[in-house]
Amino acid sequence: MHLLRGLHTHSHPDRSSAPRWRVVAVVAVGGAVGAALRYGASRLWRNGTDAHAVWRTGEAAFPWTTLVVNVVGCFLMGVLTVALKERFTRAPELLNPMLGTGVLGGFTTFSSYTDDTRRLLENDQTADALGYLVLTVAAALAGVALGVALARAVLTRPRHPRTGPGRAA
């Protein structure tokens, strides 16, 4: 490992120069917000991970809530990346770790994704488990790509002077 020390001496655009305790604090606050949002989603749409009541006693529900939460989180990460890196480049430096690592990291739940897959496999729902594995990865990647594309289309298009009464079109 000592061979790698010093390779990255320049500042990385994804790393904050703020004191470490401040970064940890904003990530913790953001993570709490994200986890609360995910919990709220699981209370509004009870299925998937919440199927523990029928675990090993019958067919488990397909984990739609976890799938949707992860895809929405990936979409929002794509939007956030473009917004902070290409449009709002002067945003406070702690905004990226708070919203990205914190809120969206706390909101998405790839640990539940793996646990949901295990639960489906243990319930002999192999086709559902494999479908869930593939669908989540494909939809998450598509979510990021769509978020990036949409954010670029909306946030980075050239600004034109407004036309109106008395102004040339």
Count the neighbouring beta carbons within 10 Å of the beta carbon of residue 94: 17
Q: How confident is the model at residue 82 (pLDDT cuts 50, 70, 90)?
A: very high
Task: Please tell me the predicted confidence (pLDDT) of residue 56.
Answer: 47
Q: How far separated are the first and last CA of the chain, in Å rounded?
A: 62
In the chain, which residue ranges form alpha helices assigned H by DSSP?
20-44, 64-82, 95-96, 105-107, 110-122, 126-155
Q: What is the mean pLDDT of residues 129-139?
A: 97
